[in-house]
Amino acid sequence: MSPSQKASAITMPLPDTQEEGRASPASPGRILLVDDVLDNRIVLGRRLQRRGYEIVEADCGEAALDILARERFDLVLLDVMMPGISGLGVVSEIRKTMTSQQLPVIMVTAKSLTDDVVEALQCGADDYITKPVDFEVAHARIVVQVNRKRAADTLEQCVRERTAALSEATTQMTREVEQKRQSTLRAEFLSRHDSLTKLMNRAAFLEAATMASEAHAVGGAPYDILFLDLDRFKIINDTFGHAVGDLALKGVAERLEAIISPKDALARFGGDEFLVLHPCGPGDEPTATLAERIVRKLTEPMVVDSHEVAVGVSIGIAAPAGMHEPAETTIGHADIAMYRAKKDGGDRFRVFDPELAEASRRRSELERDLRVALKSGQFNIVYQPVVELKDHTISGFEALLRWNHPKRGAVSPAEFIPIAEETGVIVQIGEWVLRQACATAMTWPNDAKVAVNLSAIQFERSPVVSIVMSALAASGLAPGRLELEITESLILLSAPQTLEALRQLRKLGVRIVMDDFGTGYSSLSYLRDFEFDKIKVDQSFIRSLPTDEGTRAIVASIAKLAHKLGVATTAEGVETEEQLQHVRTNGIGLVQGFFFGKPISAMEIEGVFEALDGNGDPVGFPVTF
């Protein structure tokens, strides 16, 4: 079959009285649409027909040149990547015989701002549009080019008919048209792209995803959506400033552009979030493989403004659940899967499934209920004893928050505390716990201490030092009886003002405790640079003491280090006598766990102190309170 036979027109035959290849007076223009992919020609061609254009199709470069030799057009829409003669070759051949004013050419390319676009413009193309095609933007550019051609035709006729005196006016008109075209292109680009990274913006991506969804509904290629959220971007912003953060975002965008294929659509969705629309038909890279490559690349350090930074990424993947699922729904599902990947530790991807949606729904409900739980009196505090091993006396209690939901009953702190931290509600809840615990401790013997956990969010979003001073003043509790427990990550990742706040609290006489020691970064430098009053060995180590030689060595090392630094040590989660003996052997002086007592209410604590016999041993040792 010859190239000309491959070309196909989707318009009705033109009347005999009309000059071949010339648009009818009512038509806004006659367009030659050149693309080797039938689906692309059908989708774009039909939408242009609805606007009144006469469309002639060609499925390869050879066919396009054959048609152009016989017929006249107002515009050529030309795909860059085609077998045989490429789009670049076709536009070069056109410019040998016709100028831009005689026949404008708009290139259709899979990616904007690439070498292909630059080369196409150098070959004589007048404009470009990107795939997935935003029809309204494409139509606006077509109108500009067709109007420009017709204006040029009119000008050419006027030049022939009028005298040379009109040449200056003609030049000015052409300049104004060009200026308007450039202005329109700039405005259109900024309306569709992120100003920082030059990627598609949220609106452009939603339209591209909607077009992919519509095509999928009529049998088009399947696709997945990847929702990307950077893992450590906030640390970069807080540490180096927003200017460095912006440069890091541009670096991430460049890495993503280098990873994805020309068929993918990439957008900055906002903040440190990115989206990828990835076709997953036969022959396409598996989405999981693409996600793995993205995770590997973004976890590699990058140098930004002389600073070496590493961001990392959490990725959620979702495919349309049905042929007619809206693109917004698929994006939402990918967002849910991304949240799970981040919750699992980040630097990984997760694929959406209905169970994640149910978990997300439950989380949203808990988030809503958390905002009213404090005012509704749904929280209460229980206290777990901390026991001195040398004489089995009670040193104090740790205050533990509990939530009695009116419908769900008891909600685990492991479930609601992370939500409270993410939403910021922990600030109000944490202050309430602190004030209640201080007031309760005033009813205990004078040497009994109370330990309260503080979140990093409280240091970031509230004046912790002032709040602690206020709670102590209101309750009358001596500062030395208050212990504030913090995590390793708070010390390592917090801003300098957080460390200064801790130093101010310690100067007041408040005791600072490192909680869950050994489970985080375990940097020895902060044990040297910051004088902790106590460290707590995490229960995961205590649980393995009887059976794991390596754990015993670690616990022994922690105990010896603390002893040399003059820091008290508490073993958390002691539940059996065998665990207790190992703790005692390592010289750890304080213990906490179910072996000595479960958390109890404030009212029950009075009976605990009365339960001590003359030797200081809890009655019925071990005691369950």
Which tens digits make up the pLDDT trace of 62-99? 999 999 999 999 999 999 989 999 999 999 999 999 99
Interatomic CA distance for residues 546 and 555, integer angstroms: 12
pLDDT band (50, 70, 90) for residue 258: very high
Tokens representing 484 are: 């504030």
For tokens 């205990």, the residue is 444
Q: First-to-last CA distance in the chain? A: 91
pLDDT band (50, 70, 90) for residue 611: low
What is the mean predicted confidence (pLDDT) over 559-575? 90
Tokens representing 398 are: 């740790």
Domain 202-352 has CATH 3.30.70.270: yes
Interatomic CA distance for residues 548 and 541, integer angstroms: 9
The secondary structure element, H or E, covering residue 269 is strand 265-270
Interatomic CA distance for residues 180 and 557, integer angstroms: 74
Query: What's the pLDDT score for residue 6?
Result: 43
Tokens representing 401 are: 């928050």
Q: What angle do CA 48, 53, 59 make, to 5 degrees?
A: 65
Query: What's the pLDDT score for residue 523?
Result: 53
Residues 172 and 131: beta-carbon distance below 8 Å? no
Query: What's the pLDDT score for residue 5?
Result: 40
Interatomic CA distance for residues 610 and 618, integer angstroms: 9
What is the torsion angle, in degrees rounded to the nearest 10, for the CA atoms of residue 560, residue 561, residue 565 and residue 571? -70
Query: What's the pLDDT score for residue 290?
Result: 96
Average pLDDT of the chain to the nearest whole number: 86
pLDDT band (50, 70, 90) for residue 326: confident
Q: What is the DSSP letter of 265?
A: E
What is the mean predicted confidence (pLDDT) over 23-33? 77
pLDDT in tens, 296-305: 999 999 999 8
Residue 7 has pLDDT above 80, yes or no: no
Interatomic CA distance for residues 126 and 106, integer angstroms: 6
The residue extents of the domains of the chain are 30-158, 202-352, 373-612
Interatomic CA distance for residues 298 and 302, integer angstroms: 9
pLDDT in tens, 341-396: 998 889 999 999 888 877 778 888 888 999 999 999 999 999 999 999 988 888 99
What is the mean predicted confidence (pLDDT) over 252-266? 94
Query: What's the pLDDT score for residue 447?
Result: 84
CATH topology of domain 373-612: TIM Barrel (3.20.20)
Query: What's the pLDDT score for residue 369?
Result: 92
Query: What's the pLDDT score for residue 568?
Result: 92
Residues 483 and 449: beta-carbon distance below 8 Å? yes
Please give the share of the chain, as a percent, with pLDDT higher than 70: 88
Crossing angle of helices 135-161 and 38-50, in 10° steps, is: 60
The class of domain 30-158 in CATH terms is alpha beta
pLDDT band (50, 70, 90) for residue 293: very high
What is the mean predicted confidence (pLDDT) over 34-48? 93
Instruction: Decide the pairing of beta strands 568-571 and 534-537.
Output: parallel
Query: What's the pLDDT score for residue 26?
Result: 57
Query: What's the pLDDT score for residue 619?
Result: 34
The amino acid at residue 270 is: G
Contacts of residue 574, defined as CB under 8 A and 6 or more positions apart, other chains included, come to 542, 580, 583, 591, 592, 593, 594, 595, 596
Name the nearest CA neighbour of 121 among 216, 68, 199, 185: 185
For tokens 């959506």, the residue is 225
As a residue count, the chain comes to 625
What is the mean predicted confidence (pLDDT) over 607-624? 48
Residue 494 has pLDDT above 70, yes or no: no
Burial class (CB in 10 A: 0-12, 13-18, 19+), 434: buried
Strand order in the sheet with 30-34: 8-9, 54-58, 30-34, 75-79, 105-109, 127-130
Q: What angle do CA 620, 621, 625 make, to 5 degrees?
A: 80
What is the torsion angle, in degrees rounded to the nearest 10, for the CA atoms of residue 296, residue 298, residue 304 and residue 310? -80
